[in-house]
């Protein structure tokens, strides 16, 4: 299959027009206490307050909006551990098309229930022994459905780019931008916006320490594939960057850094206690890296951080913030 052209900032601008009045323009949160903890001026883009509870709705709706009449009749197929699943399911419902989502057996039940609630069919698989992309491709071919993967799609990347586009419109003089990194859709889109609007800003991606394929890929100059990482950040348990996201990251990102599960728990606690916000483990990757100092040289600077999602079961959330990553293992292993 031919790789499509890389998206540009013009595509992000087009996505913003598609999403106007459909996606929420999420707020930017501020806290003096958080600034003191981080040693810098932190501006948090609250995408955990987006529709479906995550930034993923932006990319999904943008991608599905480009379907022609035949594609809409046949429907969309996607694979996801949860947030892209919900996003595609809701976007498909809004646009009047069927959706089938391939989800792992150990996906958070909150995310599975929401995906079903939006009207999608869910096909389960074992993430440790089965290949979701192969399962999805076979189903799509059998049913004539169009695949919209969670990150390696020009429409998805363009839609995700509207997150940082809005952030830079609201806070135009940021010195640093930090986003979570899984497959790279959010970071790639963020780079398209940042390099066009705030070219002097440093841009960092943050991935789980247990799944640092992005960092390794940039170091080696090629896409590195890893085994499924064991981390509480279920939304970033990706195995590799995409054919589209990798070159955008390679040519634009300042650095990819990592956060441990313990640092994610600390960031969740800070978000809950200081900001009164419930954010899922993947959603605080950027905040964790700023608080831990993994993002370098931020003292006194204006730092924009994307809180990418808030879809976490309350029992799981309570166990993590009270018992830590190790103590919560028995509640749900993601």
| Catalytic annotation, residues | 56, 81, 207, 211, 213, 308
Q: What are phi and psi of 41, to 5 degrees?
A: -90, 110
Contact 209, 260 (CB under 8 A): yes
**Residue spans of beta strands (DSSP E) within the chain:** 28-29, 41-46, 76-79, 99-104, 121-125, 146-147, 176-180, 202-208, 255-259, 302-307
Instruction: Write out the two tokens for 183.
Output: 């497959």
Residue 263's Cβ-side half-sphere holds a number of Cα atoms within 13 Å equal to: 20
Site of tokens 């995408």: 47
What is the C-alpha separation between 246 and 243, in angstroms, rounded?
6
Query: Which residues, 6+ apart, have CB-to-CB distance to 120 below 8 Å?
Result: 85, 88, 89, 92, 93, 98, 99, 100, 101
Q: What are phi and psi of 136, to 5 degrees?
A: -65, -40
Strands of the sheet containing 28-29, edge to edge, are: 28-29, 41-46, 302-307, 176-180, 202-208, 255-259
Q: What angle in degrees, to the nearest 10, is found between the helix axes of 245-252 and 185-197? A: 40
């Amino acid at each position: 299959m031919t790789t499509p052209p890389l998206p540009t900032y013009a595509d992000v601008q087009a996505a913003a027009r598609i999403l106007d009045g459909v996606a929420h323009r999420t707020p930017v949160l501020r806290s003096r206490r958080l600034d003191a903890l981080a040693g810098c001026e932190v501006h948090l883009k609250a995408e955990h307050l987006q529709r479906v509870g995550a930034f993923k709705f932006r990319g999904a709706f943008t991608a599905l909006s480009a379907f022609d009449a035949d594609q809409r009749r046949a429907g969309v197929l996607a694979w996801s551990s949860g947030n892209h699943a919900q996003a595609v399911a809701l976007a498909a419902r809004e646009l009047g098309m069927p959706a089938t989502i391939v989800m792992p057996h150990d996906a958070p039940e909150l995310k599975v229930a929401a995906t079903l609630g939006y009207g999608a069919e869910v096909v389960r698989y074992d993430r440790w022994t089965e290949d979701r992309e192969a399962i999805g491709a076979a189903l799509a071919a059998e049913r004539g459905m169009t695949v919209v993967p969670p990150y390696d799609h020009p429409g998805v990347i363009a839609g995700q780019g509207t997150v940082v586009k809005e952030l830079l419109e609201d806070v135009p003089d940021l010195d640093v931008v930090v986003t979570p990194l899984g497959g790279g859709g959010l970071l790639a889109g963020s780079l398209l916006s940042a390099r066009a609007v705030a070219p002097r800003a440093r841009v960092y991606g943050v991935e789980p320490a247990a799944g640092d394929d992005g960092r390794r890929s940039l170091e080696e100059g090629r896409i590195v594939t890893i085994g499924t990482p064991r981390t509480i950040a279920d939304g970033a348990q990706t195995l590799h960057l995409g054919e589209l996201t990798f070159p955008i990251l390679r040519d634009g990102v300042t650095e990819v850094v990592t956060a441990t599960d313990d640092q994610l728990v600390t960031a969740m606690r800070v978000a809950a206690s200081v900001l009164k916000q419930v954010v899922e483990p993947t959603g605080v990757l950027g905040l964790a890296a700023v608080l831990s100092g993994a993002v370098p040289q931020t003292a006194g600077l204006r730092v924009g951080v994307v809180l990418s999602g808030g879809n976490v079961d309350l029992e799981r959330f309570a166990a993590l913030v009270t018992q830590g990553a190790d103590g919560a293992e028995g509640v749900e292993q993601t």
